[in-house]
Amino acid sequence: MSQSSRSGDSPKPLDRQLPSEEAADLLALTRELVVREILPQAAEGEAEGGFPRDTMRLLGRSGLLGLPYPEEYGGGDQPYEVYLQVLEELAAGRLTVGLGVSVHTLSCHALATFGSESQKQAWLPDMLGGELLGAYCLSEPQAGSDAAALSTRAELAPDGSGYTVTGTKAWITHGGVADFYSTMVRTGGPGAGGISVLLVPADTPGVAADAPERKMGLKGSPTAQVRFEGARIPAGRLVGTEGQGFSIALSALDSGRLGIAACAIGVARAALDHAVEYARTRTQFGRPIAEFQGLSFMLADMATAVEAGRALYLSAARRRDAGLAFGKEAAMAKLFCTDAAMRVTTDAVQVLGGYGYTADHPVERYMREAKVLQIVEGTNQIQRMVIGRKLTG
């Protein structure tokens, strides 16, 4: 089975308990778009490194870019439990698309949750409708895991009309293709209390993205440094209040980690499906290799990891939907699901043997893509720190 033939296969429908008929319709719509629009372009798009901007616009017009946000601004008013399962479906088709939706949703969080009514009415409909694509600018070359040490500076003009922003952000997903950057900047003194959020239009003079990083995988999703060189940002683009930025950033990351968990299970599921199909059709010693106990046990472990990961991210999502604290559970889901995706994709390559190591099958791409999910939105070592601190108070 070649990668090109696999790119046209439909993801296997899952027997799931969904909270509403509307949720079931959303998942059916997502699967239809994956089969018709995303899978046919996935292999070639990743090989060429092309970002699927038209696909993101299509998802916006289809109502899939603003699922967890209020309907009055163009969102879907869906619980996170539903939104994350949509992300899983998209990532199973192409991680660049699933991760792109997750990052865009993360980029809208500050405005949707902490913005003023006039700010929401002015900008949120185009964000949720797919006309404006977002990026989330927190990390810096010298402030990755230690985000509170960021140094990008925003100086308020004496007349209070706007900020002059100077500094560099690093590892920015959608850097160079985004229309706006939700940017954490230092407006006050050192530490977390001096950080604020500015909603920066990408076409602002003095804002520029460097060439995309040359990455192991996820080549269709550009990652770049974004430089601010005396960029003038109107004061009306401050989200929340000065000094509130770090708490806004952390609240977004708790939700974003659930998005990464769902994407990881999508990639793992795609690898599992391909490995199972290959094992059923590949014969050795006169019978399908799926009948050999050593290999069937491997498939069983892979399937168990996928199911366990989905159960964990859905449990955390239901806590969020119920208004309960979910930071620890989000970190657990991100940790477990991304580690599981790395194991499952590695095992999928092993199931295919030499064929798994070639680009004729997509499992080698899944394996390369899974690696980055253990790193983004807080490395898995950071997740363990978060969980440990929550446990010990």
- Structure confidence by residue, pLDDT tens digits, 201-235: 999 999 999 999 999 999 999 999 999 999 999 99
What residues make up the domain containing 112?
3-128
101 and 217 housed in the same domain: no
Sequence length of the chain is: 393
Let me know whether 114 and 164 are in one domain: no
Catalytic residue among 37, 46, 364, 377: 377
Say if residue 140 is in the same domain as residue 239: yes
Domain shared by 382 and 255, yes or no:
yes
| 79 and 213, same domain (yes or no) | no
Predicted pLDDT of residue 14: 57
Question: Catalytic site residue 377?
Answer: yes
* Domain match, 387 and 255 both: yes
Domain boundary among 128, 155, 171: 128
| Number of folded domains that form the chain | 3
Q: Are residues 71 and 202 in the same domain?
A: no
Q: What is the reported pLDDT for 11?
A: 53
The share of the chain scoring above pLDDT 90, in percent, equals 90
- Tell me what pLDDT residue 5 has: 38
Q: Which residue has the tokens 């950080």?
A: 195
**Domain limit, last residue, from 128, 153, 175:** 128
Q: What is the pLDDT of residue 144?
A: 73
* Predicted confidence (pLDDT) at residue 4 exceeds the cutoff of 60: no
Q: What is the pLDDT of residue 8?
A: 40
- Region 253-267: mean pLDDT is 97
Q: Please indicate, yes or no, whether residues 342 and 360 belong to a single structural domain of this protein.
A: yes
Domain shared by 204 and 251, yes or no:
no
Residue 393 has pLDDT above 90, yes or no: no
- Output the pLDDT for position 208: 98
What does the alpha-carbon distance between residue 220 and residue 100 come to, in Å, rounded to a whole number? 10
Count the neighbouring beta carbons within 10 Å of the beta carbon of residue 357: 14
Rounded CA separation 48/306 (Å): 29
Sign of CA dihedral 69, 70, 74, 77: positive
Question: What CATH number does the domain containing 285 carry?
Answer: 1.20.140.10
Q: pTM for the whole thing?
A: 0.93
How does pLDDT run across 145-160, given as a tens digit for each residue?
A: 788 889 999 999 999 9
Nearest to 115 by CA among 24, 227, 238: 238
How sure is the predictor about 20, in pLDDT bands with cuts at 50, 70 and 90? confident
Question: Which residues, at least 6 apart from 75, have a Cβ–Cβ distance to it below 8 Å?
Answer: 66, 67, 68, 69, 112, 124, 128
* Mean pLDDT, the chain, whole residue set: 94
* 146 in the same domain as 102: no
Q: Are residues 267 and 225 in the same domain?
A: no
CATH of the domain at 224: 2.40.110.10
Distance of alpha carbon 367 from the chain centroid? 17
**Which stretch of 4-13, 190-199, 205-214, 263-272 has the lowest confidence by average pLDDT?**
4-13
Looking at the fold, whether 174 and 292 belong to one and the same domain comes out as no
Whether residue 167 contacts residue 125, with contact meaning beta carbons closer than 8 Å, is answered with no
Q: Pick from 243, 264, 295: which residue ends a domain?
A: 243
